[in-house]
C-alpha cells in the first residue's frame, strides 16, 4: 500500500479526476474532502460493507416466503394511515387498530 | 371490472413509448448493487397479486434476485433525503419523481423476522429505468427495519 504524508490544506490526486483534500486533523480523526466524477461513489468502508452483507443475505430469499410476507403488507394502501413501521424509522406511529399479524 | 374492448381499441396504436402497466420494467443500474459487482441490468417482476411485492431479478444467467417493496406503501413515514447529485445522475428532475424501493431480507424459515433495508433504498427514475441503490448518509435509517407490523 502506498503511504503518503500530507498536511491540512494539501491534496492527493488519484488518476486524472479524483482529488482527496485533507480538510482538518484533530485528535485521532481526519476530515477529508473529495472531488470525483459523479459516477464514482464514495462510501465509508464499514457502511459499504454492511450494505453489501445485507444484500448478500437478501439475495437468499425464496419464493415460498411470499404468502407469509403478504400478511405483513398494508391491506389498504390507498386508504392511507393503515399503520406504521414498528422500527426506529417510524415517527409518530398511529395505533395499528387491533391489527396484529401472527406467525 | 375488465376494460372493455372498445376502450382498449381506442388507445392510440401509433409510435407509443408504451407506458402500459403490464410491461416489466427494466432497470439499468449505473452502479452495481454493493456485493454484486457483476450485475447491472435487472427487471422488476410483480411477485404478488396486490402488486406490493416485486422481484428485482437480474437478467444475467445465474444472476441474483431480491424481493423489494415500495417504501411508500410499507413505510409511509419514511422520507429519505436523496443526495441531489445522485438524483441528477439518474436523470431525475427532482427527488420527488423517484420511485423508492426497499430490499427485503427474509430469514429462511422465519418470515416474521423479515427486514427492509431503509439505509440503502433502491431509487428508480421511472421515465428512464435508471436506478441505483443509494447509501444514505443519514444513519438513523436502519439497515434492518422490521417489516412486521
Chain centre to alpha carbon of residue A83:
24
Instruction: Residue A38: list chain B partners with CB under 8 A.
Output: 85, 88-89
pLDDT at A91: 39
Comparing B140 with B18, the larger pLDDT belongs to B140
Q: How far apart are CA B101 and CA B48, in angstroms?
A: 15
pLDDT at A97: 39
**Which range (A3-7, A26-30, A80-84, B68-72) has the least confidence?**
A80-84
- Residue in B closest to A92 by C-alpha: B77
pLDDT at A94 over 50: no
Q: How confident is the model at residue B32 (pLDDT cuts 50, 70, 90)?
A: very high
Q: How many CB pairs under 8 A join A and B?
A: 153
Q: Are strands B25-29 and A11-14 parallel, antiparallel or unpaired?
A: unpaired
CA atoms within 13 A on the CB side of A52: 12
Percent of chain A with pLDDT over 70: 72
Instruction: Residue A93: list chain B partners with CB under 8 A.
Output: 77
Q: How far is A53 from chain B (nearest CA, A)?
A: 7
pLDDT at A37: 87
Task: Find residue B41's DSSP bridge partners.
Answer: B28
Q: How far apart are CA B67 and CA B73, in angstroms?
A: 15
pLDDT at A101: 38
Radius of gyration of chain B (CA): 17
pLDDT at B17: 56
User: Is B56 in contact with B66 (CB distance < 8 Å)?
Assistant: yes
- Residue A43 phi, psi (nearest 5): -130, 150
Q: What is the ipTM of this complex?
A: 0.81
**Which range (A59-73, B22-36, B49-63) has the least confidence?**
A59-73
Q: Which helix (H) or strand (E) holds B72?
A: helix B71-74
- Residue B7 phi, psi (nearest 5): -65, -45
Instruction: Residue A87: list chain B partners with CB under 8 A.
Output: 118, 142, 145-146
Q: pTM of the entire structure?
A: 0.74
C-alpha cell at B34: 454493493
Task: Find residue B131's DSSP bridge partners.
Answer: B29, B124
B30: contact with A, CB 8 A cutoff:
yes
Amino acid at each position: 500500500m502506498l503511504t503518503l504524508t500530507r498536511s491540512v490544506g494539501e491534496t492527493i490526486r488519484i488518476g486524472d479526476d479524483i482529488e482527496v483534500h485533507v480538510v482538518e486533523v484533530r485528535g485521532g480523526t481526519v476530515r477529508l474532502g473529495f472531488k470525483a466524477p459523479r459516477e464514482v461513489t464514495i462510501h465509508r468502508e464499514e457502511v459499504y460493507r454492511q450494505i453489501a452483507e445485507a444484500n448478500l443475505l437478501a439475495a437468499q430469499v425464496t419464493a415460498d416466503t411470499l404468502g407469509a410476507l403478504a400478511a405483513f403488507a398494508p391491506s389498504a394502501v390507498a386508504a392511507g394511515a393503515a399503520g406504521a413501521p414498528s422500527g426506529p424509522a417510524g415517527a409518530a406511529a398511529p395505533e395499528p387498530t387491533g391489527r396484529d399479524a401472527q406467525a | 371490472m375488465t376494460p372493455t374492448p372498445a376502450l382498449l381499441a381506442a388507445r392510440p396504436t401509433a409510435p407509443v413509448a408504451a407506458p402500459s402497466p403490464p410491461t416489466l420494467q427494466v432497470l439499468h443500474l449505473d452502479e452495481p448493487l454493493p456485493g454484486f459487482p457483476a450485475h447491472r441490468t435487472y427487471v422488476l417482476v410483480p411477485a404478488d397479486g396486490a402488486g406490493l411485492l416485486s422481484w428485482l431479478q437480474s437478467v444475467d444467467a445465474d444472476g441474483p434476485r431480491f424481493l423489494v417493496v415500495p417504501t411508500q406503501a410499507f413505510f409511509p413515514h419514511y422520507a429519505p433525503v436523496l443526495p441531489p447529485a445522485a438524483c441528477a445522475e439518474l436523470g431525475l428532475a427532482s427527488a420527488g419523481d423517484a420511485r423508492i424501493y426497499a430490499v427485503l431480507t427474509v430469514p429462511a424459515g422465519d418470515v416474521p423476522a423479515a427486514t427492509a433495508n431503509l439505509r440503502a433504498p433502491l431509487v428508480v427514475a421511472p421515465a428512464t429505468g435508471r436506478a441505483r441503490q443509494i447509501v444514505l448518509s443519514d444513519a438513523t435509517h436502519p439497515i434492518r427495519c422490521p417489516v412486521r407490523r
